[in-house]
Chains A and B, each alone.
Chain A
Amino acid sequence: MGAWDQRENYVREGKPSYLDERRFTQVGRSVPRIDGPAKAKGESIYTADMVLPNMVYGKIKRCKEYAHAKIKKIDCSKALALPGVLAVLTGDEAPNKWGIVPASANETALAVDKVRFYGEGVAAVAAIDEETAEAACDLIEVEYEPLPVLLDPFESMARASEVIIHENAPDNIMHKGDQIYGDVDKAFEKCEYILEREFKTGRPQQCYIEPMSAVASYDTQNGLLRLWASSQVPHYLHRQMSIVLEMPMSKIRVTLPTVGGGFGGKGEAASSEFVACLLSRKLGMPVKVTYDRDEVFFTSKGRHPCYMKWKIGLDKDGYIQAVDFDNTLDKGAYAGWGVVVMFYTASMVHLPYKVPNARTHVRNVYTNKPTTGAMRGLGGVQPRFAMECMLDELAEMMGISPYELKMKNAIESGYTAINNMYTPHTEYKKCLQTAVEKSGYLEKHGKLPFGKGIGLAGGYYITGTAYTLYQSYKPHTSVTIKVDTEGGVTVLCAAAEIGQGCNTVMAQMAAEALGVHYEDVHVQTGDTEIGSFDLGSFASRLTYGSGYAIREAAKEINEKLKAMAGGVLGCRADQLIIKDRKIYSMFEPKFTIDWATVVQKYVNSVGALIATGHFSPPRRKGIDIITGNRVQGANIGHSPTFGFSCQVHEVDVDVETGRVYVKKVTEAGDCGTAVNPMSVDGQVEGSIVFNMGAALYEEMKFDANGKHLNPNFHDYKCPTFMEMPDMDTNIVESYDPTAPFGVKETGEGAVQPTFPAITNAIYDAIGVRFYEVPITPEMILKALKEKKEKEAGCGCGCS
């Protein structure tokens, strides 16, 4: 029995249960994930596990000499002469530019004319085995002309007249934008409390444990290309492949084997995928390209470092009046998701507090480092860090608890932000309240002994986006449900199960909608040919999007089955209910028939029972009808609904070593209906540890020439079992009446409060505020030393 069954207020008084849309039997159960046993037995096939007849292996030659250089000459003759080598490939053979955002697409399968970051691919080899391919890569001779290396975004802008990274970005700025809502300057004039601060965030990477892998098989007879890849966006990958290979999408089929995590890093196409396809087309043989861990570090697009300037003003009662936010992002070498992440940082200002006046200036700047991109909670984590820390500091200025300040400013259901972002439903205040009460925050905050601290922070995230990344008005998710006497119920959708558990949740929602049991449903995802259209796993969009489409498809199937059952039972179809594998009259229990019997009768007399449902998110921005102007910020930030959460972190700071130990985390989240509470808790626990790593340890490091110094798990430190805090996660009662089954997101919202909650806890522990993550032991020790010196006075009498 799931946690759902204990929630008495979900059995609503005065309404017959069959009419109560919120009373679920399949949704809300903590069932184990459907792919669990296969994964536990080592039977799940990941891309790197695949072997096709006659398959050969590809490897990519990477530039390990420079982070920025012109390619003068590539000589592959020695590599080609090596026995066992079948083909070589260079960038000029596939020069079409790809990128997930078409307006800024500027990557090529392999570098063309110049390399822009250390580790960029310059050529590739196909050989009979990986060892031969690796040896052949070493034999490829590349002549470079080094260019000045720009590693810092401010240096990059300052030196743009001297050196540029992309021809079409003469100022080295990928994109910039301003969003101004209300009168910020006037609002600040009336503020009683004003705080200005600068923040900086680090450069962590997703570090999914499965390195990217791709297997491509091109059929020279019929011109069909099959690609198996560890991706979280089969559709976008499909689209990019069509552009680079100059083949129609209908000739390409993308299939996902089991995927070993993504966290955004597999949310774009990868060179491995292009190289496998190009080599396979060249050879007419299947080709596999699997990355080593250092290749993942070079190419997986980690989180944008942000250099942020903030100004927040409160009136005398503590209500936020104005926010001024300036953000410079380190884009790395290529555009990728850059424009999207950049505008998300601007949008994130508007929730979960009421901000009546806001101004943001954002710019995303090219540097000669690996490209940054989409990483769990994209665009939200950095501004959330700053805002939640500043509200902590402002509360102290006012002499009130941060909890009180946050409760005072928190939004309510039905709130429309000044940028027109609309929140149909929120339980954010309940999240704050639950986490504070359960952790004893108010009793502990400011009262713990030196070295121990407690910190509070809130957050929110989108539940899917309002727009596709390219101009298109088609539904974002389509789900086909097939019901027959052989396969039972099959749900077909080209969504991506990357470990987050969408297949299990889709089975639960389909079972709920069809009135059958979760075990009766088969889910087929991750195939662009079999599944109905879906955009992919990103932006925490899938539970909502697929839930909506499932409900729509199921409605059509249910109507057909009810008509058939009505005829058999001799009662009106619209009085029939389908639940628990039975179809029965809501008024006369004697009119009952097994669901499977009706399916059989329908299939025998009519034929296959198939329906497709679609989901198109509501749009909130676009053209202003009155002025005719395009509304600022275009399409970023809007979502059908939003998830909310709050975390309270308790830390111990070792004042001798500078190490921070997160001891206990109390979390409360509003994810709407928890379709699978165990899975929700798993997402939240994973999120906390994930961002605890980026708050305290994780950082990709580069030397002065742009050489990546720690592209391995030995020197790049992810949290282990030893760092795991005690975690108390709480799902607050929530139901979004506008959402299918009342659902919202939880996969990315739960990473949002972690940075600021830890930072605020460190302040509570040692009285030092940090404005930069990761907060390393060196930073702690230095700050403690400075604090001690300041307290002791410097000896000049100034104290």
Chain B
Amino acid sequence: MKQLIKLEINGRVYDVPVSPRDVLADVIRKKVGLTGTKKGCGMGDCGACTVLVEGKPILSCITLAITCNGKKITTVEGLALPDGQMHPIQEAFVNQGAIQCGFCTPGMLMSAKGLLARNPKPSLYDIKHEMSGNICRCTGFKRIIEAIEVASETMSEGVK
């Protein structure tokens, strides 16, 4: 019944036994033990479970783990820089007041990371449009947008 799959999560390879119906969010949270990834709805509506698979944001609560065999996955725990410093996106979220209860934050961060990787200088519309799969109930979104704008600035400065 169970099958052993290989997941490379945040640069570390995990061999995990999964059943075909196991979703990636549960495997990451329960079997691998990385609980930073959150489950808010279990139906792909709220975006709290967003992780990067091969650099692209996906909804891990509606993705079968078995389809990710051999793939590279980044979760919120893998966002920090190698020296443990926060990634500019994380830092901007903290400093701009983009975090309140924090439950949507991991998904927001991963969606933002995916967005800035594809589009390093997103317009306001780009941010709103691309982030619209992530629901936040505390902040009213404004400070999350500001944080993404600040992160975009900081990251492009880093490139120079």
B127 touches A721 (CB 8 A): yes
Shortest beta-carbon distance, A530 to chain B, in Å? 22
Measured in the bound complex, the distance between the Cα atoms of B91 and A713 in whole Å is 29
Q: Is A208 an interface residue (CB 8 A)?
A: yes
A687 in complex: contacting residue of B42, B48, B140, CB < 8 Å: B140
How far, in angstroms, from A33 to B94 measured CA to CA in the complex? 7
Q: How far is the CA of A308 from the CA of B6 in the complex (A)?
A: 60
The answer to whether B103 touches A727 (Cβ under 8 A) is: no
B45 touches A258 (CB 8 A): no
- Nearest-CB distance from A449 to chain B (Å)? 24
A residues near B103, Cβ cutoff 8 Å: 46, 208-210, 260-261, 499
Q: Are A32 and B94 in contact (CB under 8 A)?
A: yes
Interface string of A20-59 (1 = CB under 8 A from B): 0000000000101101110111111110110100000000
Which residues of chain A come closer than 8 Å to B42, judged between CB atoms? 292-293
Which B residue's beta carbon lies closest to that of A501? Answer: B100
Chain A contributes a number of interface residues (CB within 8 A of B) equal to: 53
B75 contacts chain A at the CB level, 8 A cutoff: yes
Interface of B is mostly: loop
Q: How far is the CA of A44 from the CA of B106 in the complex (A)?
A: 11
Q: How many A-B residue pairs have CB under 8 A?
A: 168
**Min distance, Cβ B32 to any Cβ of chain A, angstroms:** 12
Chain B residues in 8 Å Cβ range of A722: 128-129, 132
Asked if A686 meets B135 with Cβ closer than 8 Å, knowing A41-B86, A209-B40, A209-B103, the reply is no
Question: Does B93 contact A210, Cβ atoms closer than 8 Å?
Answer: no
**CB distance A689 to B140 under 8 Å?**
yes
Given contacts A679-B97, A722-B129, contact A41 B139 (CB under 8 A): no
Q: Which A residues are CB-close (under 8 A) to B91?
A: 40
Contact B132–A209 (Cβ < 8 Å): no
Q: Does B72 contact A (CB under 8 A)?
A: no
CB-contact partner of B140 in A209, A498, A685, under 8 A: A685
Tell me if A678 counts as interface (CB < 8 A to partner B). Answer: yes
Do residues B104 and A209 form an inter-chain contact, with CB atoms below 8 A? yes
Instruction: Evaluate whether A293 and B29 lie within 8 angstroms (CB atoms) in the complex, with A42-B106, A261-B100, A689-B140 already known.
Output: no
Do B101 and A499 have beta carbons less than 8 Å apart?
yes
The residue on B at minimum CB distance from A722 is: B132
Cα distance, A40 to B77, chains bound together (Å): 9
Closest CB-CB distance, B113 to chain A, in whole Å? 12
Give the Cβ gap from B108 to chain A, nearest Cβ, in Å.
10
* Residues of chain A lying within 8 A (CB to CB) of residue B132: 720-722
Inter-chain contact A209/B137, CB cutoff 8 Å: yes
Residues of B within 8 A of A720 (CB): 132-135, 141
Judging by beta carbons under 8 Å apart, are A261 and B137 in contact?
Answer: yes
| Chain B residues within 8 Å of A39, by CB | 99, 102, 105
Determine if B137 and A263 form an interchain contact, defined as CB atoms under 8 angstroms apart.
yes
Q: Distance (Å) between the CB of B84 and the closest chain A CB?
A: 9
Give the shortest distance, in Å, between B67 (CB) and chain A (any CB): 19
**Chain B: minimal CB distance from A679 (Å):** 7
Q: Is B136 an interface residue (CB 8 A)?
A: yes
- In the complex, the answer to whether B102 meets A260 with C-beta atoms within 8 Å is yes
Q: How far is the CB of A67 from chain B (nearest CB, A)?
A: 23
Q: Find chain A residues with CB under 8 A from B69 CB.
A: none
Across the interface, do B90 and A40 meet the contact criterion of CB distance under 8 Å? yes
Tell me whether B16 is interfacial, beta carbon within 8 Å: no
Q: Which residue of B lies closest to A665 (CB)?
A: B140
Max chain A Cβ within 10 angstroms of own Cβ: one of B43, B80, B138, B143: B138
For B41, B46, B144, which residue has the most chain A Cβ atoms within 10 angstroms? B41
Q: Given the complex of chains A and B, what is the CA–CA distance between A39 and B133 in angstroms?
A: 20
Task: Tell me if A42 and B36 are in contact (CB < 8 A).
Answer: yes
Within the complex, the shortest CB–CB distance from A377 to chain B, in Å, comes to: 14
Contact assessment for B139 and A211 in the assembled complex, using a CB-CB cutoff below 8 Å: no
Q: In the complex, are the beta carbons of B45 and A713 less than 8 A apart?
A: yes
Query: Chain B 1-44, CB within 8 Å of chain A: the 1/0 string?
Result: 00000000000000000000000000001000111111111110
Chain A nearest CB, measured from B44 CB (Å): 8
Point out the residues of chain A lying under 8 angstroms from B77, CB to CB: 41-43
Contact at A685–B143, with CB atoms within 8 Å?
yes
Within the complex, the shortest CB–CB distance from A51 to chain B, in Å, comes to 8
List residues of chain B with CB within 8 A of the CB of A208.
101, 103, 137
Q: Are B140 and A32 within 8 A (Cβ)?
A: no
B90 partner residues in chain A, CB cutoff 8 A:
37, 40-41
User: Bound state CA distance, A722 and B138, in angstroms?
Assistant: 16
Once the chains bind, are B131 and A713 in contact (CB under 8 Å)? no
B35 with A49: CB separation less than 8 A: yes
Q: Is B58 an interface residue (CB 8 A)?
A: no
Decide yes or no whether A188 CB sits under 8 A from chain B.
no
CB distance B43 to A714 under 8 Å? yes
Any A CB within 8 A of the CB of B71: no
The listed residue with most B CB atoms (<10 A of its CB), out of A36, A686, A714, is A36
Q: Which of B36, B38, B131, B142 contacts A210 (CB 8 A)?
A: B38
Instruction: Name, among B33, B105, B131, the residue most crowded by chain A CB atoms within 10 Å (CB to CB).
Output: B105
B142's nearest neighbour on chain A, judged by CB, is A685
Contact of B38 with A46 in the complex, beta carbons under 8 Å: yes
In whole angstroms, how far apart are the Cα atoms of A430 and B106 in the complex?
39
Q: Residue B95 at the A interface, CB < 8 A?
A: yes
User: Which residue of B is nearest A39, CB measured?
Assistant: B102
Q: Is B109's CB within 8 Å of the partner chain A?
A: yes
What are 15 A-B pairs at a CB distance below 8 A? A36-B93, A41-B80, A206-B137, A209-B46, A209-B101, A258-B102, A292-B42, A499-B103, A499-B138, A685-B143, A686-B139, A689-B141, A713-B40, A724-B140, A724-B141
Taking A712-B41, A724-B142 as given, write out 6 further A-B residue pairs in contact, using a Cβ cutoff of 8 Å, ordered by the A residue number: A32-B94, A210-B101, A261-B103, A682-B140, A713-B41, A713-B135
| Those 10 A-B pairs whose CB atoms lie nearest each other, nearest first | A42-B36, A499-B101, A260-B103, A39-B102, A713-B45, A42-B76, A685-B140, A49-B35, A689-B140, A36-B94
